[in-house]
Structure 1
Amino acid sequence: MDQYLWAMLCSMFLVLLGFFSLRLYDDFVAMPQKLRRILLRQGINGPPPKLILGNILEIKKSRDAMDKAAIKQPHPPVIHNAASVFSFLEQWRKQYGPLYLFSLGKMQILYVSKPDLVKAITTCTSPDLGRPYHQQEEFGPLLGQGILTSNGSIWARQRKIIAPELFMDKVKGMMDIITESALTLVNSWKHEIDNGALEITVDDYMKRFSGDTISRACFGSSHSKGQEIFAKFGHLQELISSRIASLGVPGLRYLPTRNNLRIRALEKEIQGLILKVVKERQLAGSEKDLLQILLESAESSHCHSPSDSDSIHQFIVDNCRNIYLAGFETSAVAASWCVMLLASNPDWQTQIRDEINEVCHGRPIPDMNMLRKMKQLNMVIQETMRLYPSTPTLSREALEDITIGDVEVPKGVHVWTMVAALHTDTSIWGADALEFKPERFQNGIAGACNNPNAYMPFGFGRRVCVGQHLAMVELKLLMASIVGSFSFTLSPNYVHSPAMRMIVEPKYGVKIMVQKLQ
């Protein structure tokens, strides 16, 4: 009997092993090869992938070479080329052309830089070209299934709820919050500076400004708890960014590594803190902030059963995660880059200061009407977001078989467009594409380049960032406040080294020498 039972167990084990082996073979060998053949038949080639890993080892080798070069040149010149953090993509473009195929593990990625195909992608309204599902898997602890990662009816519902709360008329209602946060930053710098110049690393200040603004807008009177939540999000983002290099390798995120265990613990902590604020809000009554809007909208579209309560809570947690990345981190980094560019270009800093003095008539912080009149400042911000776009690459996934331009893209293939490369393409922007020249935007985007579809600092199409109005107002008000109160230059200790984490950030921070204006 024991022998019979043992034989049965062995047979069942072998059957299960065979099933999982076939499944793994299909997922990591057969299906990727099938997708590649469809594209290869259309003349689309690329670097040959290795089994399971794809081209990950080549990417790692390219990044290691960049790090070694940086060590040899500790103070590199300031060259505005954010696309350099993806040097492997540019190397492959030179080798295989503006349309090629590469792999991250089992993910097959169609890289597109042909202007006509880029336009076809940016103007595509089909739901069959959506956010990649792997983002929910790989970045789930940070993004969940919120507005940045969801598709179909889930995304449409979230956008319907959130987008109206970030239209310009609602942003006007946030001006007191933004003004208060900007004043806090300006006064803290004035307090630190006595006479002469002081070296300041601006990045943490930018994050405090952005965090304070979005915490007050999102959490209202509970903004101090919002700041605690966003601080934990920042740590979580660093942990997740550290495993981006292994994106696409099967199963790594499930291993009980120290990094993965810390990610899971932080995710639980953040969820618990958000739900605590939600429960307090439900007991205390309503406030007019983004959290309350999310809560009321989620409750109005669900019945009150235990499962629906869980769904409501998950909806709120996921979108608080998304608000952090879209409304806090990207705005803070954009502000740091803008300060760096103005510190590097004293003539433009003077022009902006003259414009501020002319428009504000001595008022320390401008109002909305004053911001509208600051055309020079607007050009500087547009140029900042051209050279250092918050999202350097935009990715989509063919959720069904779809034709883009003249290319048949099979279901499951990922489509990448590199914004940072398009923003500095000399065939689009001219020979001075890598130079800081805000005057190129004097006649708007259409006058700045020969392909307006190639400028997409806030994404494109139906998925364009819903918070772009808030981001622009924040940046304009903060820059006007800083330039109107201080003069500043780059510190000799500044090291220009754009680095890819979740977004392109100054690797060593932006260090400036600051003086108070009389």
Structure 2
Amino acid sequence: MVLVPGYRFLPTKLNTSSWKLDKQIRRNLEDLIGRRKGGSVIIDEERKTDEASAHAAAKDLLGLMINAGVSGTRRTGPAPAEISVRDIVEECKTFFFAGKQTTSNLLTWTTVLLATHPEWQERARKEVLQVCGSRDIPSRDQLAKLKTLGMILNETLRLYPPAVATIRRAKTDVHLGSYNIPQGTELLIPIMALHHDTRLWGADAAQFNPGRFVEGVARAARHPMAFIPFGMGARMCIGQNLALTEARLTMALILQRFSFRPSPSYIHAPTVLMLLYPQYGAPILFRPLSSCGFHPGTVS
């Protein structure tokens, strides 16, 4: 994949579709926020609204953001500025796409890769059955012991990161390598390009090889910051640990119960529409292990 500067501003078919989708999502969120604002209960001195009612109106994240900064909703200290509708929309988009769609994409690509690499699927299944058993829901401690599955998830994130790039803005003038970066300059960090760079990952950078993570993330490449699917620094994805835990648990449950392979109709065509996803879907054929004559108790 080649990132062309300014490409995201061109009215291509893909960009037009992305813009249309973004407008639709924004409009739906604004409508939802408007309805919630109209029905929300706010404490003020004149209306003497019951505090318990106000608390009930703000019991979820959206309600908390709507009521944040409104006079009277804080017992002590100065009230912060009210969050604008635009800011609430952006926060909702962040929580939805970063908290749900990215994990969904990780599970999709992991399933595709294990379906097309049955040897790694069997290695992961053997580990899951040894550590977690054949039917029990894995505990947190058991999930932490699934080293092979962790390597597979990391390799999936390397090959198919949810975000192909991220943007950072220089807070001060900075000297970066041979470049002078003025304050306020926006820098695009090409995550996808970094993850596929043969200078960092070796000649097999385009190949699925979870074994490269056997000594951990820091030693997987020739530079410790070559692997950044969740970003880096102070603005690193806050949901990284949750996303990886969800993915480990879901994949462990699938491996306990099913074998799977790609459907003959599967077409490998990764594409970007906000996130990196399979353009033609990911049809996978699942088969219960019990119907394969597989007996988990015999695994050694």
Query: Considering the TM-score relative to the shorter chain, is it more than 0.5?
Result: yes
Query: What SS does structure 2 have at the residue aligned with 1:459?
Result: coil
Query: What SS does structure 2 have at the residue aligned with 1:446?
Result: coil
Corresponding residue for residue 244 of structure 2: 472
Long gaps (5+) in structure 2: 43-52, 291-300
- Please point out which of 137, 144, 147 is paired with 1:372: 144
Query: What SS does structure 2 have at the residue aligned with 1:500?
Result: strand
- Do the aligned residues in 2 keep the contact of 1:274 with 1:317 (CA within 8 Å)? no
- Do the aligned residues in 2 keep the contact of 1:364 with 1:485 (CA within 8 Å)? no
User: Segments of 4+ in structure 1 off by > 6 A?
Assistant: 258-261
> Is 1:271 equivalent to 2:43 in the alignment?
no
Long gaps (5+) in structure 1: 1-83, 90-101, 107-238, 245-257
- Do the aligned residues in 1 keep the contact of 2:196 with 2:206 (CA within 8 Å)? yes
One-letter amino acid of the counterpart of residue 17, structure 2:
S
Q: Distance in 2 between matches of 1:515 and 1:482?
A: 10
> How does 1:368-447 map onto structure 2 within 5 Å?
368-398=140-170, 400-447=172-219
Corresponding residue for residue 506 of structure 1: 278
One-letter amino acid of the counterpart of residue 108, structure 2:
S
> How does 1:29-44 map onto structure 2 within 5 Å?
none
Q: Distance in 2 between matches of 1:475 and 1:259?
A: 26
- Do the aligned residues in 2 keep the contact of 1:428 with 1:450 (CA within 8 Å)? yes
- Do the aligned residues in 1 keep the contact of 2:58 with 2:64 (CA within 8 Å)? no
> How does 1:260-409 map onto structure 2 within 5 Å?
262=24, 265-272=27-34, 275=37, 279=41, 282=54, 284=56, 290=61, 299-300=73-74, 308=81, 310-311=82-83, 316-398=88-170, 400-409=172-181
Q: Distance in 1 between matches of 2:168 and 2:232?
A: 11
Corresponding residue for residue 294 of structure 2: none
- Could you list the per-position Cα deviations for residues 396-417 of structure 1 after superposition, in whole angstroms to 9, with x for gaps in the alignment? 2335543323311234532122
> Which structure features the higher share of helix residues?
1
Provide closer, same or farther for how the CA distance between residues 303 and 316 of structure 1 changes in structure 2, counting only shifts above 3 A: farther
- Could you list the per-position Cα deviations for residues 64-93 of structure 1 after superposition, in whole angstroms to 9, with x for gaps in the alignment? xxxxxxxxxxxxxxxxxxxx2xx354xxxx
Superposition deviation, residue 455 in structure 1: 0.7
Corresponding residue for residue 449 of structure 1: 221
> How does 1:98-247 map onto structure 2 within 5 Å?
102-103=5-6, 242-243=17-18
Identity score, percent: 35
- Do the aligned residues in 1 keep the contact of 2:68 with 2:83 (CA within 8 Å)? no
Corresponding residue for residue 230 of structure 2: 458
- Could you list the per-position Cα deviations for residues 309-364 of structure 1 after superposition, in whole angstroms to 9, with x for gaps in the alignment? x4377665542332112101111111111110111111111111111111112333
> Is 1:497 equivalent to 2:259 in the alignment?
no
- Do the aligned residues in 2 keep the contact of 1:241 with 1:502 (CA within 8 Å)? no
RMSD (CA atoms) = 3.4
One-letter amino acid of the counterpart of residue 278, structure 2:
P
One-letter amino acid of the counterpart of residue 343, structure 1:
A
Aligned length: 273
Bigger relative CO (Cα 8 Å, ≥ 6 apart): 1
Question: TM-score, normalization: structure 2?
Answer: 0.78
One-letter amino acid of the counterpart of residue 501, structure 1:
L
- Do the aligned residues in 1 keep the contact of 2:258 with 2:287 (CA within 8 Å)? yes
Corresponding residue for residue 47 of structure 2: none
One-letter amino acid of the counterpart of residue 153, structure 2:
I
Superposition deviation, residue 451 in structure 1: 0.6
Superposition deviation, residue 296 in structure 1: 8.3
